[in-house]
Structure 1
């Protein structure tokens, strides 16, 4: 599933085409994706100007004039493609390839922007993505958002914040970090990377990072800094690729960096002087990559 940096990169890639444009018509080529489209979805959004594009956790938010906001989730295989008469662009190059076949083009936003007409096309082979519409002033209480924790990019995420949520928990540290009620938008890839950066095992209990008085230990402070840094680095990598690297087929070359542990099972650990080997274990049905020698 696309993680927060990928969704943020998609938002940045779509912004030039969508922000300020008139959404002339929303063409739905099927009645549902993961869930049915809201009743009269096309009618509700067509003829409205797009005010801004935002993001909350792994959700893309398209604010329309009049106070409505389109909520879009990419699911496992969803992507957007921009067609404006030049080479098509697909904002966001993911660790797992996105679909290209037009038979999986399920939603087409027909736009009229400052530079003329354009189409923004949502493609989703597995149809695990979805779209909804709600009022901006009630967004925080929407079922998708009301239980979300703080963003890993915001100033609220600090060691004290996590200590209050981890205190006394025997839950494995990786599972606690993936809990969206604790941190919104943090996913499997970047949890593995942040744990490696901070030298912490994904298997240890989350509560071991908090002292008897409920205060964060130094290890939790290091982890918090690693989370913020790895997300910032991933977003920055996407941003620089957006400016510098567009392949001939229109695919944007985001995240062409090499992961330190994720998907590197059996390879040498990159921690200087470690000498360990990256191992894969399964936690709650998901692959975890870590170095047992230097992550404790």
Structure 2
């Protein structure tokens, strides 16, 4: 699944081609995504100009001039690309946003777990965004914040870190990598991690995500950026997907354990 770095890479890739452009409508080939595409999407968008392309958690926000926001989600394996309007669609190209100048922003979503949603209200009030925690790259994510939120929590610290009500956008890959850098075992109870170690974890989360964004994301299966390029952060992963390989620091074998029905990778020597 595209995680926060992949969504941010996509945002940066499409923004120069979309911001400031007027929309000439929408072409919906398959409205049955995770939630139904609005039936009147073409009429809603026609003639409206895109003021900004933003991101909140794993949602891309196309803010339109005057009012209203289009929320886009890539689901499990979706992608957004800007292509010439005459480019023939493939079987999984479900929605085109028609841009002035003969280009389209095309959503490809083989599994149809993505979303195209419209809200005339401020997007932070939308049910998919309301109640979310702070952005992991914002000043709000600090060790003190994580420490306060974790008190009394008995769930594994990895699951705590992946809780969108605590902090958004830290998915399975990056949670494993951040916990490794902070030296924290992913299965340790969140409430038993001390303040100093949460300070290390907050810094590790930001560092891992920033490095992943700079590398274009992580291509594990079929992620590509908005310009069709794969992500190269996979080459920098220290523990994720490396079961049995040597830890880059201590040389002990990386182990895998299932936590919350997700594969978690850690070093038994460096993480406790």
Say which SS state the counterpart of residue 49 (structure 2) adopts.
Answer: strand
Q: Cα RMSD between the aligned structures? A: 2.1
Distance 2:58 2:18 in 1: 19
1:235 aligns with 2:213: yes
Distance 1:170 1:276 in 2: 28
Deviation at 1:253, TM superposition (A): 3.4
Correspondence for 1:276 among 238, 252, 263 = 252
Say which SS state the counterpart of residue 124 (structure 2) adopts.
Answer: helix
The match for 2:240 is 262
Distance 1:140 1:163 in 2: 25
Q: How high is the TM-score relative to the length of structure 2?
A: 0.91
The match for 1:242 is none
Deviation at 1:34, TM superposition (A): 1.1
The match for 2:143 is 159
Matches of residues 186-205 of structure 1 in structure 2 within 5 Å? 186-205=170-189
The match for 1:96 is none
The match for 1:291 is 267
Please give the per-residue CA displacement for 1:178-200, whole angstroms capped at 9, x wherever unaligned.
11000011111100000011111
1:56 aligns with 2:48: no
Distance 2:153 2:162 in 1: 14
The match for 1:3 is 3
Could you tell me which runs of 5 or more consecutive residues in structure 2 were left unpaired when the two chains were aligned.
218-223
Correspondence for 1:102 among 90, 93, 118 = 90
Q: How high is the TM-score relative to the length of structure 1?
A: 0.84
Matches of residues 1-296 of structure 1 in structure 2 within 5 Å? 1-84=1-84, 102-112=90-100, 116-137=101-122, 139-210=123-194, 216=195, 218-238=196-216, 251-256=228-233, 257-271=235-249, 274-296=250-272
Quick check: 2:81–2:228 contact (8 Å CA) kept in 1? no
Distance 1:41 1:26 in 2: 6
Distance 1:186 1:226 in 2: 11
Say which SS state the counterpart of residue 17 (structure 1) adopts.
Answer: helix
Deviation at 1:136, TM superposition (A): 4.8
Say which SS state the counterpart of residue 102 (structure 1) adopts.
Answer: coil
Quick check: 2:176–2:239 contact (8 Å CA) kept in 1? yes
Say which SS state the counterpart of residue 253 (structure 2) adopts.
Answer: coil
Please give the per-residue CA displacement for 1:253-287, whole angstroms capped at 9, x wherever unaligned.
3334331111111111112xx12111111111111
Distance 1:74 1:168 in 2: 34
User: Bigger CA drift: 170-179 or 140-149?
Assistant: 140-149
User: Bigger CA drift: 76-85 or 158-167?
Assistant: 76-85
Quick check: 2:85–2:104 contact (8 Å CA) kept in 1? no
